[in-house]
Structure 1
Amino acid sequence: MPDSKNIDLVSFYVNAATRENTVRSYRTAIEHYERHWGGLLPATPTAIAQYLSHYADKLTSSTLAHRLAVLAKWHHEYGFPDPTKAPLVKKVMKGIRATHAYQTKQARPLQLEELKIIIQWLEESIKESKDYRKGLRLIRNKAILLLGFWRAFRADELTNIHVEYVTMIPNKGMSLYFPTTKGDRDNKGVTYKVPALQKLCPVTAYQDWVTAAELSKGPLFVGIDRWGHFNHKSMTSNTIINIVRECASGAGLLHPDAFSSHSLRRGFASWADSNGWSLKELMEYVGWKDPKTALRYIGSSHKIQQHFIEQLK
């Protein structure tokens, strides 16, 4: 006979199977429909169609498609008929895609030369800083940028690095273990190797930050308040984006707001492309499974695209 303890365990493991970002995205979509739009759940196909029409010129079609998927999931979970599959809703979405076609905006890639400028500015600022708190932030930001660039990490990967899962490899670099990642659907864990470099070294930047912050466990990158106290919860992806932009602005780069956390990933992909990496090498290093995903991140040289197309002939 099942008891309350076993039922609680079932709930625990069901919740563990749902990633935090997924839960947040789900909650945001439901709140948008109910609070911002004023919709009622369960919904009718007509109400869903009206919701889509209202936001057709305000949200991208991909965002609306995501909202539809969340609403469909809500109805399935609570045992109600799914209104998103109704012909009316499908026709409205088709019309929105045809009427409001858009080009996906991509983050500006942070090129290697630009990274050098930022790191030089950070190093000079660290030397000149007489404020302990400001110095800590600068050291942390340097580690974020170098690790994010050379490992082509997303913002959520940077925020999910834990010190206890970092292993130093003498004369080679270090390895980072992630118990779960976005692409690791089976939760088997993924290990990434980080090379030690003579210049712009992510390993040295990591060691400098861990030493300065005296970190031995928990999230690697943490917030620092105005008194120099650490927030030992993981930083958010938005914080990483702000750090990239603040560093770009501080170093004097043009249009810093065009950068985002994906700028590090796109910058590395562009660098790898320019230096003769094959598509297979880039995909294996970054962890991409689909060639189309990799090709979207490559910059203006298009060497990998050309090689990929030649293989298809």
Structure 2
Amino acid sequence: MSTDVSLVPPTSLEAFADRAREYAGQARAKNTRRAYASDARAFATWCEARGESALPASGAAVLAYLIDHAATLKVTTLQRRLAAIREQHAAAGFVLDTASAAFRDAWRGIKRTHGQPAEKKRPLMTVDLRRAIATLPDTLAGTRDRALILIGFAAALRRSELAGLEVSRRDGAAWIEERPDGLVIHLGRSKTDQQSEGAEVGVPYGSKMETCPVRSYRAWINAAQLREGPAFRPIDRHGRLGVEAVTDRTVARIVQRTIEAAALVDGHSPEETRRIASAFAGHSLRSGLATSAAANDAPGHAIQRQLRHKRFDTTSGYIRSGQIFKQNPAGMAGL
């Protein structure tokens, strides 16, 4: 029987150092590590074409690289690439000098000139959610989509969290527990929980049968006869249920498709429905819960807890959006 090398205690300082590097490699999320590796390769290719050293690189070479891509790449992408180059140097034991006033001022100028606020998708407010849900057919796919949208909204889940949910408990996975008072979403590692401390999110019964997340989830589980494995799965055009989990991109498509159906019902043209649907995405469920709750005067700390934000500053943006017409001075000016 083979032995897992990671379970064998190191026997020397050198072995401990190797193990430390292995753990250091796991300090960031898998997607981040993949993006950083791609960014480092892109910088190396650019340097090779110009006869420059990529590792170690000079501050001047790094600045030239940023300037060369300032007009074609988003500032957020350039920021990530700079972070990747810095991390690559640190891992190799090199010091990358980007502390000079010239580098700092030029980089600040790039961000000021080319930076722009990220395009935010619209929150799916409760009133729009109700209209969208009403368009879903009483098919297996419609039952799944209803449960997926309502669970994602009520639990304020990120699309990757929603796609990764399991029906029953499994080590290392996020799962859904059914309780008399509703559902409890057990989350493991997430965007703001890289240390895997986990979180529990409560989903209570809704006041309306057609938009109750708990009843919709149970209806889906019963219809699909699920007892274990992924909670939300692909369904082919013949109505056959898959065994793997849906992807996070599928979550976004389900949201947009349902919004598009509601827009068609409202009499919009096909072109208008596509434009309306494109304004929403998977994150619209999470932001929609926060904004709708704020509009109905839910306490800020309760919204923060449901969204699992570390800082209230992040939550307050949703609250401001939801309460933009609450006690608005323009509405009290007697116009």
TM-score class, shorter-chain normalisation, is: 0.7 to 0.9
1:33-182 to 2 correspondences below 5 Å? 33-34=43-44, 41-42=54-55, 43-85=57-99, 87-122=101-136, 125-126=137-138, 135-164=139-168, 165-170=175-180, 172-182=181-191
Deviations 1:138-168 (A, max 9, x none): 2222122111111211112212322223211
Structure 2 residue ranges without an equivalent (≥5): 1-8, 169-174, 265-272, 329-335
Q: State the Cα distance separating 1:300 from its structure 2 match.
A: 4.8
Distance 1:51 1:167 in 2: 50
Provide the rounded CA distance (Å) in 1 between the counterparts of 2:251 and 2:63.
36
Query: What is the aligned-residue identity percentage?
Result: 30
Pair 1:38–1:144, CA change in 2 (3 A) = farther
2:234 corresponds to 1:230: no
- Offset at residue 276 of structure 1 (A): 0.9
1:2 aligns with 2:42: no
Shift of 1:38: 6.8
Please report how far the alpha carbon of residue 237 of structure 1 lies from its aligned counterpart in structure 2 after TM superposition: 2.7
From 301, 305, 309, the counterpart of 2:323: 301
Q: Which shows bigger deviation, 41-50 or 221-230?
A: 221-230
CA-CA distance at 1:13 after TM superposition: 5.3
* 2:199 equivalent among 149, 168, 190: 190
Match of 2:135, SS?
Answer: helix
The structural deviation recorded for 1:247 is: 1.5
- Secondary structure at the aligned position of 2:185 is classed as strand
Matches of 1:139 and 1:264 in 2, distance apart? 17
Indicate how the Cα distance of structure 1 residues 35 and 206 shifts in structure 2: closer, same or farther if over 3 A, else same.
Answer: farther
> In structure 1, what is the equivalent of residue 287 of structure 2?
266
SS in 1 for 2:157: coil
CA spacing shift, 1:229–1:9, aligned 2, 3 Å: farther
Please name the residue that 2:278 is paired with: 257
Deviates more, 1:62-71 or 1:292-301: 292-301
Secondary structure, counterpart of 2:70 in structure 1: coil
Deviations 1:216-250 (A, max 9, x none): 33332233445635251x44333322221122112
For 1:26, which of 36, 49, 70 is the aligned residue? 36
8 Å CA contact 1:150–1:268 kept in 2: the answer is yes
Task: Kindly state the Cα deviation for residue 86 of structure 1 after the two structures are TM-superposed.
Answer: 5.1
Matches within 5 A, 1:209-228: 209-226=220-237, 228=240
TM-superposed deviation, 1:91 = 2.8
SS in structure 2 at match of 1:251: helix
SS, match of residue 134 in structure 2: helix
Kept after mapping to 2: 8 A contact 1:173/1:203: yes
Q: TM-score, normalised by structure 1?
A: 0.81
Q: Name the CA shift for 1:46/1:212 in 2 (closer, same or farther; >3 Å).
A: farther
Tell me if the contact between 2:230 and 2:243 (Cα under 8 Å) persists in the aligned partners. Answer: no
Going from structure 1 to structure 2, the CA distance change for 1:20 and 1:153 (only over 3 Å counts) comes to same
Alignment RMSD, CA only? 3.0
Decide which moves more: 71-80 or 83-92.
83-92
Distance apart, 1:251 and its partner CA: 2.1
Deviation at 1:110, TM superposition (A): 0.9
**1:132 aligned partner:** none
| Residue in 2 that maps onto 1:206 | 217
Deviation digits for residues 5-25 of structure 1 (CA, Å, limit 9, x no counterpart): x87976775555542332333
Moved more, 248-257 or 112-121: 248-257
TM-score w.r.t. structure 2 length?
0.76
Q: Secondary structure at the match of 2:117?
A: coil
Provide structure 1 residue ranges, at least 5 long, that are not aligned to the other structure.
127-134, 307-313
Give every structure 1 segment of 4 or more consecutive aligned residues whose post-TM-superposition deviation is greater than 4 Å.
6-17, 34-40, 83-88, 303-306
Question: Secondary structure at 1:98's aligned position in 2?
Answer: helix
The reply on whether 1:283 has 2:304 as its aligned counterpart is yes
